[in-house]
Amino acid sequence: MKRLLIVGAGGYGKEVLYWAKQIQKEIILWKEVGFIDDNPDALNGLSIDNKVVSSIEEYKPQKDDYLLCAIGNPKDKLRICNQLLKKGAKFTNLIHPTAVVAENAVLGTGVILAPYSIISVNATIGNFVTLMSYSIIGHDAKVGSGCTICDHCNVMGNASIEDSVFLGGSAAVLPNIHIQTNAIVGAGSIVTRKVKNNTTVFGNPAVKVF
């Protein structure tokens, strides 16, 4: 049996733990679920039986270990995942039973699909992508590695999102729009035009603020 380790014991890590337990009710996949976090006391005082088993630096991959990364910041997520990959760590995908994934969609590794998320036909999802609850990736859309897409987002058909992009809750990316690497889209924003590298946009329509 495999051991599932969630990288990051913060708020989102606890949500991922809950979803993993829901999956376990349908099919037993993991003999144990724990956390990797640089704060050994991250779960103290909480009614959670699962433990922080290692820091990121001290983690030594075991043969039956499979990891998920529950870190929201895309740059930090990719940096830490690459650090763990260099150690020989293996990542897995978590797809909640209520998520919908088209048969011809392509998923990378380390992907987390939260409850009621949808990936439509011919969509391509990179490695270490987090798709939170009720968010949609439309037909033929592309999402690069490390992206974090918060709750109730809508990435519409043929949109293209490069690596390490963050979409705040309820953001929408209109069809055929291109968002470049490391961009941030503020919550509730409507993206109607190209977003350049390393910029933050906000509003309806979204405009550059940083």
CATH number of the domain to which 43 belongs: 3.40.50.20
Does residue 1 surpass a pLDDT of 80?
A: no
| Structural domain count, the chain | 2
According to DSSP, the residues that pair with 167 across neighbouring strands are 149, 185
Average pLDDT over residues 139-156: 98
CA 151, 154, 159, 165: dihedral to nearest 10 degrees?
Answer: -20
Average pLDDT over residues 118-133: 98
> Exposed, middle or buried: residue 27 (CB in 10 Å: 0-12, 13-18, 19+)?
exposed
The tokens of 19 are what?
């979803």
Q: Residue 80: name the closest of 9, 128, 15, 28 by CA.
A: 128
Pair (48, 115) in one structural domain: no
Q: What is the pLDDT of residue 28?
A: 79
Residue 20 · residue 3 · CB < 8 Å: no
Q: What is the pLDDT of residue 67?
A: 98
Segment 64-100, tens digit of pLDDT: 999 999 999 999 999 999 999 999 999 999 999 999 9
Pair (60, 153) in one structural domain: no
Q: What's this model's pTM, rounded to 2 decimal places? A: 0.95
Count of positions (residues) in the chain: 210
Provide the residue range defining the domain that includes 60: 2-92
Does residue 210 surpass a pLDDT of 80?
A: yes
Domain stop point among 50, 67, 92:
92
Pair (100, 166) in one structural domain: yes
Average pLDDT over residues 97-105: 97
Q: How many alpha carbons fall within 13 Å on the CB side of residue 95?
A: 12
Q: In CATH, what number is assigned to the domain containing residue 152? A: 2.160.10.10
Average pLDDT over residues 115-141: 98
Domain stop point among 43, 58, 92:
92
Across the chain, mean pLDDT equals 96
- 99 vs 87: CA distance, rounded Å: 31
